[in-house]
Structure 1
Amino acid sequence: MKDYTFKVPQDIVFGVGSLKRLPELLEKSGSKKMMVVSDRGLEKLGVVQKVLDIVETEGIETVSFLDILPNPTVDMVNAATKVYKESGATSIVALGGGSPMDVAKAVGVLARYGGSITEYEGAHLVPGPIEPIIAIPTTAGTGSEVTAFSVITDTSRNYKLTVFSYELLPKYALLDPEMIMSVPPMVAASCGIDALIHAWEAYTSLGASPFSDAMAEKAMELIGGNIRRFVANRKDEEAACAMMSGSMFAGIAFAWARLGDVHAMSHPVSAFFGVQHGVANSILLPVIVEYNALADHGRYEKIYNYISEDKEPVKDFKPEMLVAEIKKLNASLGIPKTLSEVGVTEDKIPQMAVDAMKSGNIAANPRQTTLKDVEMLYRKAL
């Protein structure tokens, strides 16, 4: 067994109705004024106001930055940082999916250390602790509340840059399953498959360890056993709890084991064509699972058992059975089959492949992958 290290330096609060504990966590952070980073969709649904009401009744001042869009940009980070600094806020509440959390983490860096987020691109360039963040996920998908990554689009390069530092981990993660029980079915589906892929790629990653395996296996058990019923009925409290817990465990798994080709290749798809991250991942998954089968050493069968509706013991398992099962799952959830269905065109494949190869996830993929391999995989997914 190879050497490995891990830590879980956060306070994680889970429970139906636990949103009401937000003032308690702000008090622990020593903050009397918070900035909510979220989006207009959650504002229209009344979710943002619900959060503001909870803290304002406790005498805590608030300011909001709600202009977050999918695949957030460097300009959004700069605008949010300006609001944070000028308001005098002393903590950030990241409310939403991965996009608000990515921005909140970037703001936490720039508010403390200045400069542009592009200066922190790469690994371990954040010099120390950032502004305190309380992460409140409203989707069961990204796991950003427990990960050390911020992914921001640099529109000048059509490139999704990644800042990786354990300093980015939110101080608190507040997981209330009620927050995901009103999402639309396609959001539930694409985010749920994204969470499954986080666990899946961490489990097959060259960086996997017994710790990350434990997190990944529990995540796949919870998500694989509940994603169909959750998409069918988001009011199913038991399924919602399982999905939110599974997403969190998947996030911890890949925070310590990295990911693989799926995520390396999905980021350029989103950067060039604006495809939602979970959808891009879901479309790429069957193609890359088939490609990685050559490197499998028994883990495909375990994954199959987690996601298959058939709970009978498998006889004579073959990797193609897993490929067929994930295609079946995608289809049942309404995930598009090909990249062309979501607007991706072949002319951008060479540049997307170049950008995908810049990802550190390529090195963690179980099967060695070259630039030509990536181009081939894109064309197969097209």
Structure 2
Amino acid sequence: MTASVVVTGLGIAAPNGLGTREFWSATRSGKNGIGRITRFDPASYPSTLAGEVPGFVAEDHLPSRLIPQTDRMTRLALVATDWALKDAGIDPAELPAYDMGVVTASSSGGFEFGQNELQKLWSQGSQYVSAYQSFAWFYAVNSGQISIRNGMKGPSGVVVSDQAGGLDAVAHGRRLIRKGTPVIVSGAIDASVCPWGWVAQQASERLTDSAEPTRAYLPFDADASGHVPGEGGAILILESAESARGRGARIYGEISGYGATFDPRPGTGRESGLRRAIELALADAELTPKDIDVVFADAAGVPELDRVEAAALTSVFGVRGVPVTAPKTMTGRLYSGAGPLDIASALLSIEDRLIPPTVHVAADETYALDLVGAQPRPARVRAALVLARGYGGFNSAVVVRAVD
């Protein structure tokens, strides 16, 4: 029998809340974390809004030796991991090193660190470039730094599939638990709110140029004009259900299903792979569409992509057949961090019997979705579907459900 894999710890850093309780309180109440960029002057760019993590001072949480060698995304990931491990009641020092692994995702790596060092290279010379540039910018740096800081020598890795990557990382973590590793740290934190990262994101042509925080990111709305990027995400502690129960751990819920597909080449006229990813996740979870109580949407905010997602959902669940929510309208799209944060929100929805709102959006009826509006919706949530799509055609779906 295949082992059940559960989540026993959450560590969250989001634009509308730092820490799980602050984030969830803000999300329940519809608090917006999107605003004009403060980390640099965005005046010369078409897009000026982002979801920035507020009030994070790395020096308050991390030893001074780590600060010069880490990008902002890594500092956030290290602290979120500390919180997740504490939440799970796990002290890494008390476990064998090879019983713990790390699998994270990254969309862009440590862009801000890389930008700063490249500026030194061209303005001052190579002797001024930090030796830490050799790894601080890299996609795998969060997995590496988390494993080093916590003495974790078990199976580890990194997944790079843009916004879909966070779900893919959790799914790979689930595989490693099923293969026998007792504890896996998984999820993702991204942070590319810097000029270099901003230019790269502008190139996607999917960012809104709206300067109004409450009317900028509007998935499934007739006024949708693109998305607002953000920074942050969530780190999850994964264990087998048997192990978690054996040590009396609190269990948020089970990662019960996963599916991933890739879209066909544009221009072929073939259907997006998103519907198939949903069906694969449901089959893996051994659930039917009627068993799903809520969908946490990818919510691209680009009309063409929103139509594709809505078509996939109505194909599987029927017209307005399941409540759909997109709490990321409060944070922006956090790239690889978005999926794990939605998993965390789904688990908290199960716990609180409450579906979080989709703020600012006036649902366009042509999408035929039962979109949860500006107010949270009380509901008995036993199973939730989380969707994420990455630039270039990645589709991922994860089912989480309650554990009795």
Please give the TM-score of this superposition, normalised by the length of structure 2.
0.28
Please identify which structure carries the higher helix content. 1
TM-score w.r.t. structure 1 length?
A: 0.29
The structure that is strand-richer by fraction is 2
**Which structure is higher in RCO with an 8 Å CA cutoff and minimum separation 6?**
2
